[in-house]
Amino acid sequence: MKEFTTDIFSLYDKTWGLLCAGTMEQHNAMTISWGGMGTLWGKPVVTVYVRPNRHTYGFMENSEYFTVGFLKEEYRGAHGIMGSKSGRDMDKDREAGLTPCPAGETVMYAEAEATLLCRKIYCQDLDVSAFPEAVREKYYGSEPAHRMYIGEVVDIIRK
């Protein structure tokens, strides 16, 4: 695996990621800002959290692989579309001016300066009853709880 040196704590929260799953023919991507990177079962892993009402959720469920890409600064505006519109209603790639390209069996974006190619190794719905009350009120009043996906990082693709 190639080297990846960055501030991983600000990467999701401040830079935001682009989570994509599916094939070149049929895929969907959305902006994410919650996630993690670490180690599980001796493997380098990425964790992402996806609410089941996202169009991307179905692709995450049906795909063995997914990518998390971090767009170059000049493409930050694309998150305006990727993080607020649904692929159910439009061709988000085209609207956002992003270029999908193959990454192993799945898809990444040419505008990303770094992309983590991940193989899904675990998923689980978050248990709302175990959340701190303030979190439940703030984030889960009307929206369904996220499903957590953990992916083994099998490649890091840098531009």
Region binding ligand FMN by CB under 6 A among candidate stretches 86-94, 96-104, 110-118, 129-137: 86-94
- Per CB under 6 A, 6 contacts ligand FMN: no
Query: Under a CB-based contact definition with an 8 Å cutoff, are residues 157 and 115 in contact?
Result: yes
Query: How far from the centroid of its chain's Cα atoms is residue 41's Cα?
Result: 21
- Nearest residue to ligand FMN, using CB? 83
Token digits of residue 118: 């991940």
Alpha helices (runs of H) in the chain, residue ranges in sequence order: 8-10, 55-62, 79-82, 92-96, 133-139
Instruction: Say what the alpha-carbon torsion angle 106, 122, 139, 17 is, to the nearest 10 degrees.
Output: -30
Using rule CB under 6 A, residue 56 touches ligand FMN:
yes
Whole-number minimum distance, CB 79 to ligand FMN, in Å?
6
Tell the smallest beta-carbon distance from residue 133 to ligand FMN (Å).
Answer: 21
Tokens of 125: 């719905």
Q: How many whole angstroms separate alpha carbon 110 and alpha carbon 139?
A: 32
Figure out which of the listed residues 11, 20, 27, 28 binds ligand FMN, where binding follows CB under 6 A: 28
Looking at the Cβ atoms of 3 and 7, the one nearer to ligand FMN is 7
Token pair, residue 105, equals 């069996």
Residues 104-133 within binding reach of ligand FMN (CB under 6 A): none
- Residue 31 contacts ligand FMN per CB under 6 A: yes
Contact pick of 8, 36, 72, 83 for ligand FMN (by CB under 6 A): 83
Which residues lie near ligand FMN (CB under 6 A)? 16, 28, 30-34, 49-51, 54-56, 83-88, 146
